Amino acid sequence: MNSTLTDVLIHLSDAVGNAETLHDIYDAALAGVRQATGVDRAALLLFDDDGVIRFKAWSGLSDNYRAAVEGHTPWAQGAPPPDPLIIEDTTTDAMAAGYRDILAREHIRSLAFVPIISRRQLVGKFMLYRNQPQRFEPGEIAATLTIGYQIGFAVERMRSLKGEEHVRERLTVLTDASERLLTSLNVHAVVDEIVCLAQRVLSADAYAVWRRDGNNWRVAASRDLSKSYTKEVITDDGRSTFSAPLVIEDVSQAARVEHRRAAYAREGIKSLVSIPMSDHGHPSASLVLYYRSHHKPTDLELRVAIALSQIAAAAIRNARLLTEAQEGNRLKDEFLATLSHELRTPLNVILGRTQMLSASRMDETTVAQTAETIARNGLLLARLVDDLLDVSRITLGQVRLDPQTLSLDAVVTTVTSGLEPTARARAITISLEQPDGPIALLADATRLQQVVWNLLTNAIKFTPHGGRVRICIECRAGQAALIVSDNGVGISPEFLPHVFEMFRQAESAKNRRHGGLGLGLSIVRRLVELHGGSVTVESKGSGHGATFTVLLPMPVATASRRDAAGSADAYESMGGS
């Protein structure tokens, strides 16, 4: 040895103590090994996170040589401390057979593998090279082993410190961003910020936030993905990767994503990590990290990804709630504007006609017509007030039903007769299809009549002059069905999900062509649900009319008789006897 091991270790300890980076430690270790052994050339290699051993420091080795042998090791990562391996002559030793050509070009005739150990596990190796066939002295190998133990500990300690520093940096980024995210009012801005944050704190090749849209999942924001990929829509059929945390190291082998392999192949994706964002326990979005080489995320990466997803879920929820609150305030303002208009119109008529009665002499016919006008507008006001009171009672849970046995077709016939004059005035045809026998229900007669009235008046109001309104009553598997359809203005796809929401109207207060407070359909849904039923709406879009379907439970005995009659009819129609 060129220097005593004690001198080398003292110098190495001083260098390691003053090291600011891992590369400072690597260089100090390599210098110590060369000083202790006197070898011509040497190298230090360590296992990376993927379990591949790579050059960290070297002396006197060409780029070609390092590229040819990097990744080769006689030992597996994490193995118990192995013994050093020595090749005294690379031209004759069988262990060098696969690398003789590159060793010859590099003029290496003897070499030694010396393990680097930390916490009693293999973390890397030193390589010692000589230009001539030569034995390595036991003292040289022992010195290198000793340096390996010291460097293994120093590298692990530095990595731990750097890891903690990296964690602090990432947490600082997340903390600084969380305040901005949690106060944002715009869901789209929040989602875009999440993707930007993912780029800063996570080391993936591409990123996306997928959001649930009904029964589908769509990309809400992304980075480094093609447009064709981000425009894809995934149906939530139980096979999606968004509902639970998921780590897939090889998408070509995982059965869970077999249906997505073609898409991943086109995008060059080899691995992915998906972390769901939950809203009250239900996944509403998911942060997905994509890798274009096989990748196994570290515990730190997963913890950061989960922390980011949790912040993102809270931010999206806050933004949605704030947006809904603002929208609710806007709708209430519009409702108040509409209410004032709807109240003012009949009041003005009543006041005007009252003044006419008191200010002039009128014949009996004019007086009767004026009184009829006052009464009609008074009834309109009463109906508006009743709707407001109903909404208040429903909201406070104060609606009480008085159920009694009644006939659905009789209720519908009564309401239809009452609205015939209104429909006739606009040349609207009302057709009624009903079964031969009555359909009995256990329901509140007044409230059921209110449901039918609201549905029919809504259909007539939005059907143009000369249009058609169709009413159908039938029995469906133990339920009474009331279907009201029209060929009117229809409902846009954007407004369709909001049809039954309180204060919601497709027309704004400034652009209203049809009267009303926008409460009728909301009242319909609440009253139908109080009866244990359901109401749905269908429309192919603006100009294509709308169909409302109410389903109400029938008494068990009635439903059984209806089902039996239906079965007998079906049997007879098939030629049974």
CA 266/CA 261 separation, integer angstroms? 9
A 10 A CB-CB count for 113 gives: 20
- Give the whole-angstrom CA distance, residue 348 versus residue 36: 107
Q: What is the pLDDT of residue 448?
A: 92
Helix, strand, coil % over all residues of the chain, rounded to 5: 50, 20, 30
- Residues 152 and 179: beta-carbon distance below 8 Å: no
Question: Phi and psi (nearest 5°) for 508?
Answer: -75, 165
Measured between alpha carbons, how far is 275 from 305 in angstroms, rounded to an integer? Answer: 7
* Residues forming beta bridges with residue 547, ordered by sequence position: 485, 538
Structure-block tokens of residue 18: 């003053």
Tens of pLDDT along the chain (577 residues)?
445 767 777 777 777 777 777 788 888 888 888 888 888 899 999 988 778 999 999 999 999 999 999 999 999 888 888 999 999 999 999 999 989 999 999 999 999 999 998 888 888 999 999 999 988 888 888 888 888 887 877 777 766 665 555 666 666 666 666 767 766 667 777 787 778 777 777 778 998 888 888 788 899 888 899 999 999 988 877 666 677 788 999 999 888 888 889 999 999 999 998 888 877 777 888 888 899 988 888 777 787 788 778 877 877 777 777 777 777 777 677 667 666 766 777 788 888 888 887 776 777 788 888 888 888 888 878 877 777 777 777 777 777 888 999 999 899 999 999 889 889 999 999 999 988 888 899 999 988 988 999 899 999 988 999 999 999 999 988 899 999 999 999 998 888 888 888 766 655 444 445 445 567 888 899 899 999 999 999 999 888 899 999 999 988 655 555 544 443 343 233 333 2
pLDDT tens for 31-40 read 888 888 888 8
Rounded to an integer, what distance in angstroms lies between the CA atom of residue 66 and that of residue 107? 14
- pLDDT at position 400: 83
Domains of the chain: 5-164 (3.30.450.40), 183-324 (3.30.450.40), 331-396 (1.10.287.130), 403-573 (3.30.565.10)
Residue with tokens 């209110």: 450
DSSP string, 447-459: HHHHHHHHHHHHH
Q: 219 pairs with which residues across the strands?
A: 210
Buried b (16+ CB within 10 A) or exposed e, 122-150: bbbbbbbbbeeeeebeeebbebbbbbbeb
Mean pLDDT of the residues in the chain: 82
CA-to-CA dists, residue 158 to 155, 345, 409, angstroms: 5, 80, 83
At residue 126, the pLDDT reads 93
Q: Which of 417, 400, 479, 488 is nearest to 452 (CA)?
A: 417
pTM over 0.85: no
Helix (H, G, I), strand (E, B) or coil at 209: strand
Distances (CA, A) of 228 to 195, 225, 231, 287, 399: 18, 8, 5, 19, 52
Rounded distance between C-alpha atoms, residue 383 and residue 396, angstroms:
20
User: E strand or H helix at 68, and its extent?
Assistant: helix 63-69
Q: From the CB of residue 573, how many other CB atoms can be counted at a distance below 10 Å?
A: 8
Identify whether the C-beta of residue 234 lies closer than 8 Å to the C-beta of residue 216: yes
Q: What is the H or E stretch that residue 111 is in?
A: strand 110-118
The 3-class secondary structure across 475-537, one letter per residue, is EECCEEEEEEEECCCCCCCCCHHHCCCCCCCCCCHHHCCCCCCCCHHHHHHHHHHHCCCEEEE
